[in-house]
Structures are given as C-alpha cells and as structure tokens.
A and B are shown apart, each in its own frame.
Chain A
Amino acid sequence: DGGITQSPKYLFRKEGQNVTLSCEQNLNHDAMYWYRQDPGQGLRLIYYSQIVNDFQKGDIAEGYSVSREKKESFPLTVTSAQKNPTAFYLCASSSQTGALGYTFGSGTRLTVV
C-alpha cells in the first residue's frame, strides 16, 4: 500500500543537540511538507518542497533545515538554534497542486530535555 512513513514515532534528545526526523513517501507525490503542532493548536508550516532539490521556508523555518535529494524523501533537522523544539512534527505529501488533498504521516513526537 502507498503511504507516507515518519520515523521514529517518539524521540528524546538533550538540549543543544541536532536531531533529524525522517519522512518517506511512496505515493509518487511531487510536493512534501513539514508541520509543527503544539498542544491545542493548529498546524504551522515549517518548510515545503514542490520538486526535488528545491524547497521554501514556511511560517516558522527558523531553527530548522531540510533537504530534498530524492522525490521520496524529505528529512527535517531540528537544530540547536530552535528555541522551543519540543512538539509534534507532521510530514505530508501531495500532488504539485495539492488538489486531491494532502496525505499525512503519523507524526514524530520530539521531546528535548
């Protein structure tokens, strides 16, 4: 079955360490996205990519970095510059226009101690 996979589901890191969250899709989608969700709040866009080797900042890109070397993969690195990294991170993918909706992964819950 086609889908989008995020790993790991739970991640703990010490303050000051960089951490990379994995996102892989086998839906042949051109576009991929990273969102952050805090308790009781909606989704905030971190980065998005509409094509391989290209990506754009979203609303809250500071302290994060991404790469898009393959169509199937869009890893997110949470750097030590991110002041409040503890959150639920969601990856999604879609056709280039997003016309048929976005497919989301199951999320990674990152806790920084």
Chain B
Amino acid sequence: DAKTTQPPSMDCAEGRAANLPCNHSTISGNEYVYWYRQIHSQGPQYIIHGLKNNETNEMASLIITEDRKSSTLILPHATLRDTAVYYCIVRGYSGNTGKLIFGQGTTLQVKP
C-alpha cells in the first residue's frame, strides 16, 4: 500500500471549511484513498473514500487530483466536535489483510 504524507496539525475556525491535504505520490492504479478520523480516546471513524472521481457524503467531500498523487478532505462547516486526528490511507480492494497504516495523521483543532 502506498505511503501517505500529511501535515502534523491544522487549525480551523468554527463554521468555516476545513481543508485537509494528503500526498500519496506513489499510489498505484488500483488503490483507493480512504479517510478516517479519531477523536481522543475513541475508535477511528470512517469518513469517505474514492478512486479518482470526487466524492461527497453527509460528512465530507473528497477531492482527488487528476494525477491521483494528492487529495484533499473538505469538512464544509467545521464544528468543535470535528476536532480530531484525521488519517489518510491508501489501499487496494484485493487481499484484505486488515492492515491499515494510519501514520501520524493531521491533528485538526477547530476553534470557536
């Protein structure tokens, strides 16, 4: 599975959009981009995933560049409850071995 690079921390004002970047320059053609978040002392929560098209659900939007080497998770109207560590993961659909390499993620602090 491809390695990902994320900034260690970001701040966002409550009510504003939070844009969290992720670089995955070694991604291969059959690998998807997944985003999870982990609020302190809780289990990680799946947010969204995509292959090459932009995706949107009730939680967030995922924008993947045309060359697929980077992506951005967008929380359109951040709230204090969105304060968490956000993880970008790249993995393929085949050979599910349970390995989710979370890395260090981005700590998003939403401020009032």
Contact = CB atoms under 8 A, between A and B. Distances in A.
Interface of A: 6, 31, 33, 35, 42-43, 45, 48, 50, 56, 58-59, 88, 90, 92, 94, 96-107, 109
Chain B binding surface, main DSSP class: loop
B89 to A, nearest CB: 10
Nearest to A46: B98
B34 to A, nearest CB: 6
Interface residues of B, number: 22
Interface of B: 32, 34, 36, 41-46, 49, 91, 93-94, 96-104
A46 to B, nearest CB: 9
Contacts of B96: 31, 50, 94, 96-98
Contact of A90 (B44, B94, B97, B101): B44
B98 A90 contact: no
A71 B104 CA distance: 32
B3 to A, nearest CB: 12
Most buried by A among B44, B93, B104: B44
Nearest to A49: B98
B104 A42 contact: yes
